[in-house]
């Protein structure tokens, strides 16, 4: 590769790596709603009800499976919800089994129905339905699911850089589980290709895992990927540890370490990153990826 200047390289780092589907996974949202659409439509009959308690019990008697959708009305995915007030604590179970038994006054099942009505009253769900605060539970739950899914952005964000790098690896002609591999441990690499990586694993004591491994005819490339939108002490430690890892790989024939990283968080740790950049051959950014660096590295 041509010689790169660190400051020029760093100035091309991105503020964000968010893709269009990062914000909400609508495919997942619609699937989750579709899975309970029938039960939600049954409960729709309670909207505007003048005898909501009696009608709710009647629905549970005839369609006990509707009980399972109650938690999502409160933006909860769990099938059990604990509630406490001056009458004591109750662990509510929202499953078909919760309604087993004979329904008659003073029976266990009767008391169970009464308890679920109390839950609906105290959580405000009866008020939500009875007073027409919503028009359709399917639409309402679609909104709830959208909100819950947006909370999953952090988990999706952690994989965005991996996904980006993998896309360029594929575009370069590598095939998953044939010429490139995801999430491989040092021990797996050693077994698969008969290579001694004890210098990297502290004589087998460290269970290091790489995001990707690319195998060419003459070389094994171990790859790490990350993106830091904001700074923190972790960045300095990451730069130092990857610098050390790259130095250790120099002692192993047929094995090289490659690091793809980016993000404006590195501005606050530029000193440590510069040290790693100056001593490490294979350290690249998103700009490098966009300029076909994968084709240059993995030959």
Question: Which of 154-168, 187-201, 235-249, 271-285 bottoms out in mean pLDDT, i.e. has the lowest?
Answer: 154-168
CB neighbourhood size of 134 (10 A)? 15
Which pLDDT score, from 0 to 100, does residue 21 have?
78
Q: Using pLDDT thresholds of 50, 70 and 90, give the confidence band for residue 20.
A: confident
Query: In this model, does residue 56 exceed pLDDT 90?
Result: yes
Question: Which of 149-153, 231-235, 258-262, 289-293 bottoms out in mean pLDDT, i.e. has the lowest?
Answer: 149-153
Q: Using pLDDT thresholds of 50, 70 and 90, give the confidence band for residue 222.
A: very high
- Within 170-246, strands assigned E span 180-185, 209-215, 220-227
pLDDT mean over 225-247: 91
Distances, alpha carbon 219 to alpha carbons 38, 70, 204, 223, in Å: 56, 56, 22, 13
Which pLDDT score, from 0 to 100, does residue 204 have?
47
Cα–Cα distance measured from residue 195 to residue 11, given in angstroms and rounded to the nearest whole number: 38
């Amino acid at each position: 590769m041509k010689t790169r200047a660190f400051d020029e390289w760093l100035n091309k780092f991105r503020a964000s790596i968010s893709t269009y589907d990062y914000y909400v996974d609508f495919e997942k949202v619609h699937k989750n709603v579709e899975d309970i659409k029938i039960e939600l439509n049954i409960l729709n009959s309670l909207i505007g009800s003048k005898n909501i308690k009696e009608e709710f019990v009647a629905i549970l008697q005839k369609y006990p499976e509707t009980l399972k959708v109650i938690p999502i009305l409160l933006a909860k995915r769990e099938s059990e919800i604990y509630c406490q007030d001056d009458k004591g604590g109750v662990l509510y179970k929202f499953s078909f089994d919760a309604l087993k038994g004979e329904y008659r006054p003073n029976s266990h099942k009767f008391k169970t129905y009464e308890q679920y009505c109390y839950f609906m009253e105290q959580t405000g769900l009866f008020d939500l339905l009875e007073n027409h605060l919503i028009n359709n539970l399917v639409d309402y739950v679609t909104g709830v699911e959208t909100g819950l899914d947006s909370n999953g952005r952090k988990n999706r964000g952690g994989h965005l850089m991996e996904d980006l790098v993998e896309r360029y690896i594929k575009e370069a002609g590598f095939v998953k589980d044939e010429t490139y591999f995801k999430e491989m441990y040092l021990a797996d690499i050693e077994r698969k290709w008969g290579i001694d990586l004890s210098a990297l694993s502290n004589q087998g004591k460290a269970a290091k895992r790489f995001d990707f491994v690319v195998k060419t005819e003459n070389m094994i490339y171990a790859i790490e990927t990350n993106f830091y939108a904001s700074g923190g002490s972790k960045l300095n430690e990451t730069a130092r540890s990857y610098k050390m890892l790259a130095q250790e790989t120099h002692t192993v024939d047929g094995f090289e370490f490659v690091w793809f990283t980016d993000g404006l968080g590195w501005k606050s740790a530029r000193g440590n990153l510069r040290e790693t950049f100056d001593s490490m051959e294979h350290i690249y950014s998103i700009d490098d990826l966009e300029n076909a660096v994968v084709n240059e590295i993995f030959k």
